Amino acid sequence: MKKKLIGLVALFVVALFINQVAIMINDAGITMNNRLTTAEKKLSEAKSQYNQSVDDYVTAWLSTGKTFSDTKMQSLADRLTAYSLANNAVHEFFKTYYTFSNADSYNAREAKLRAFTSESILNNDYYFGNPVDSSGENYITVLGLKNKFKSVDVNLMNYDADNIQVLAMAVYESKTNATSYKEGSQMYVINYSRKENKIVSLDKINSSINNTYTN
């Protein structure tokens, strides 16, 4: 009788043991599946980052004035090249134009911009006039006006072998002695001459739109 009972207990223990092993294998499976899911996710991210890198590389490569026999390819390369040229010039221009901290740095912008801005713009008082108010005071100094460039969003309108025309939204921050930095934005239509490698016209657009997208 005793032996039979020991046999029963032994069978029970064996059943428990096998059951426990099954549970452990299932747990290990779940862990492994989770690891596989994580690995797949990471692989997918790495793959898309690589594809983005290739895309960026090809886009940058096509933006350097390449020639192709295929007309569609040529059209794409021309567009990307025109955008890249104008985008670089417009960024350089506004980075300098909207950055000053006193009357001296305000006046120094003109010389800095000369390399890529036409004389007609630099001589235009609307953009580069002497900053004096009606009483003859320098309002940059009087107000303590300071400006910081934030960004410029360049949109390509038209281009040909000689000129590139863009619509640009420049975003900047301004402050005076009495106020802290506040963000502002201004839209411009800009013409860039490929022959002169310069911005040759600048038209301020009166627009109520701001720089943020809302749906």
Partner 1 sequence: MSRFNKDMAIKLAYILMVFLVGLSCFKLYKAFKDNNLSELSSQVEAKKKQESSYKAKAKQLKANGDNEVKKKVEANVDEIVANQKYNVQDSINQFKTDLNNGLKLLITDTDTKEQLKANKKEVQKLLHSKKLTKELYGFNDNFMNFGTADSIEIGVGKYSLTSENVSFVALVKWTSQDLSQTPAFQKGDSPTTKNVLTIRGEYNLKSQKVVETTVGNVVEEAK
**151-180 residues near partner 1, rule: CB under 8 A:** 153-157, 166-167, 169
16 binding partner 1? (CB under 8 A): yes
Find the shortest distance in angstroms from Cβ 26 to partner 1. Answer: 5
Please report whether residue 189 would count as binding partner 1 according to CB under 8 A: yes
Q: Residue 142 and residue 176: Cα distance in Å, rounded? A: 9
**Could you please report the per-residue DSSP string of 132-184?**
B-TTS-BHHHHHT-EEEEEEEEEEEEEE-SSEEEEEEEEEEEEE-TTS--EEE
Q: Are 65 and 77 in contact (CB under 8 A)?
A: yes
- Whole-number minimum distance, CB 180 to partner 1, in Å? 26
Least distance in angstroms from the C-beta of 154 to partner 1: 7
- Comparing CB distances to partner 1, the nearer of 101 and 163 is 163
In the list 73, 104, 151, 181, the residue contacting partner 1 (rule: CB under 8 A) is 73
Q: Which of residues 196-215 bind partner 1 (CB under 8 A)?
A: 204-210, 212-215
Using CB under 8 A, which residues numbered 20 to 39 contact partner 1?
Answer: 21-23, 25-26, 28-29, 32-33, 35-36, 39
6 binds partner 1 (CB under 8 A): no
Nearest to 184 by CA among 206, 210, 214, 205: 210
Q: For residues 152 and 171, is the Cβ–Cβ distance under 8 A?
A: yes
Interface with partner 1, residue 187, by CB under 8 A: yes
**Smaller CB separation from partner 1, 15 or 108:** 15
Phi, psi of 156 (to 5 degrees): -80, 130
- Which part of the chain contacts partner 1 (CB under 8 A), choosing from 79-87, 101-109, 140-148, 193-201? 79-87
- Would you say 71 and 138 are in contact if contact means Cβ atoms under 8 Å apart? no
Tell me the CA end-to-end span of the chain in Å, nearest whole number: 83
